[in-house]
A and B are shown apart, each in its own frame.
Chain A
Amino acid sequence: MTTEPSPGPEAQFRAFLAEGRLMLQRSRTTGRYVFFPRIAVPGSGERDLEWVEASGLGTVYATTVTRQRPNPDGSSADYNIALIDLDEGVRMMSRVEGIPPTEVRIGMRVKARIATIDGAPQVVFDPA
């Protein structure tokens, strides 16, 4: 028996990103949002997940600066890594751009943007 090929939640999420859309899964019955994309709600197992467009708004939950050797031209190669709590109630790793990495603060409001990282669309954030 063969199954019709159909993209799973991970592939669907990435396809949305490639279209420039940040989509999240939400359980129809519980209203709970899920990230990263899964086939069911973790812990309770509801399979009634639908895709909804994220507000893109969030708050910095934790932040660090990865320190690097400076670039050949002497400029800083340090970069930010942050955990962002989206307003929908899910958390993701990302980075805050547009300000020096040392200036990213916990509690800062941020807005999602889809950027290309290593040739693939990924979610990054700018100060809101």
Chain B
Amino acid sequence: MARALRGKVAVVGIGTAGMGEAPGRSAIELLAEAALAALDDAGLSLAEVDGLFTATSVHAFPTLSVGEYLGIRPRFFDGTNVGGSSFEAHLLHAAIALEAGFCDVALIAYGSNQRTAGGKFVSFSEPYAWEAPYRPRVPLTAYALAASRHMHVYGTTREMLAEVAVAARAWANLNPQAFAKGPLTIADVLASRMVSDPLTVLDCCLVTDGAAACVLTRADRAKDLRKPPVYYLGAAGAQWHRAISAMPDLTITAAAESGPRALAHAGVSIGEVNLAMLYDAFTINTILFLEDLGFCPKGEGGRFVQGGAIAPGGKLAVNTNGGGLSCVHPGMYGMFLIVEAVTQLRGEAGERQVRPCDVALVHGNGGTLSSQVTAILGSARTV
């Protein structure tokens, strides 16, 4: 059944709002702007939305808040919140709901004003009793611990971590929507302020505002809409822990499970992937996910990224919008991964366009390397 979803539904519209800084705007205002932009992109009306999928860092009951704000009375709704990968999970759930006929037009949406609302990472995630007394900075501490372990076991260096940030910036410099621009060198990253060893402030994602949304329909309808459909080929999620202290091995994420399952559902091999959108909340993430998803052997991620290998002109196009590190990161970044993959698969990415781009792997991460959801999207040539 999982495999039977391949090519049956498609992303038909995408939208963003308030990328970077949006002073004076609330999270739900930004979310609604992105949602309407996505519907306009598809040539669909708000009244046609009957499937609602959403999560934010500020709404306890997100489908209720968003449904009320936009005036949607969905036949099917899903407010799954597993952190930043929620939107990849929504993609999977929307595909199931559309194909099963529970809804006809599915909207996935996210919005945040985290930067202008205070500039701090916003989360209503509850304190974790077995960690809180030691005052971890969640999620930073968790990723620093994972990086320390990866360096210890595999000889990964701070220079290799820095290479991830440098590649992300080089892509951001080609993206008019990216927030952090300008030259960045490995030396710059190494010399920046240490925040939680071995991670410096430039190993960490941005804190921005921003909203993003996408609209899906079944494939038969998608063909007649305004933009070329981007097909859902497969998706899968995996979760092995909640808190970093309960993660079995800090160098192996559940992406090692979600990735192969998603690829199998999609009938795609890792070598066929033209674009990898990997949730880069911290530089160590990209390295871990390159390994766990099978782009390189376990432990080789640091060496894989060296020499500009994931930068423009490198051997694998990774995070071509500039990533959470240099494009946008309003707290839960997963929806922006989907928007960039769709932009690339449509051939609308301008200066940063990947050629050819028929298969994109979108990998969302949530919590502290906790929830891992992989989705494979493809152009018309893949179905």
Assess A62 versus B145: contact at CB under 8 Å? Given A81-B136, A93-B245: yes
Cα A61 to Cα B153 in complex, Å, equals 10
Chain A residues whose C-beta falls within 8 Å of the C-beta of B145 in the assembled complex: 62-64, 81-83
CB <8 Å contact, B197 and A65: yes
Q: Is B148 an interface residue (CB 8 A)?
A: yes
Q: Is B382 an interface residue (CB 8 A)?
A: no
Distance in Å: Cβ of A76 to nearest Cβ of chain B = 12
Cα A117 to Cα B131 in complex, Å, equals 12
Number of cross-chain contacts by CB at 8 Å: 71
Mostly, the B contact residues are mixed
Q: Is A1 an interface residue (CB 8 A)?
A: no
CB <8 Å contact, A93 and B196: no
Smallest CB gap from B198: residue in A: A64
Cα A122 to Cα B134 in complex, Å, equals 9
Q: Is B182 an interface residue (CB 8 A)?
A: no
Distance in Å: Cβ of B121 to nearest Cβ of chain A = 15
CB <8 Å contact, B130 and A92: yes
CB <8 Å contact, A106 and B152: yes
Assess A62 versus B133: contact at CB under 8 Å? Given A67-B196, A92-B245: no
Assess A106 versus B135: contact at CB under 8 Å? Given A67-B194, A93-B244: no
Q: Mark A66-107, 1 if CB is under 8 A from B, else 0.
A: 110000000000010111000000011111000000100011
CB <8 Å contact, B149 and A106: yes
Smallest CB gap from A65: residue in B: B197
Assess A62 versus B148: contact at CB under 8 Å? Given A67-B193, A91-B245: yes
Enumerate 24 A-B pairs (CB-CB under 8 Å) in ascending A order: A36-B130, A61-B149, A61-B250, A62-B145, A62-B148, A62-B149, A62-B152, A63-B145, A64-B197, A64-B199, A65-B194, A65-B197, A67-B195, A67-B196, A82-B145, A83-B245, A83-B250, A91-B245, A91-B246, A93-B131, A93-B245, A106-B152, A117-B134, A118-B133
Given contacts A64-B144, A117-B133, 7 further A-B contacts (CB under 8 A): A62-B146, A62-B250, A64-B198, A66-B135, A67-B195, A91-B246, A106-B148
Give the 10 A-B CB pairs with smallest separation, nearest first: A64-B144, A93-B245, A62-B145, A62-B149, A65-B197, A106-B152, A93-B131, A122-B133, A117-B133, A36-B130
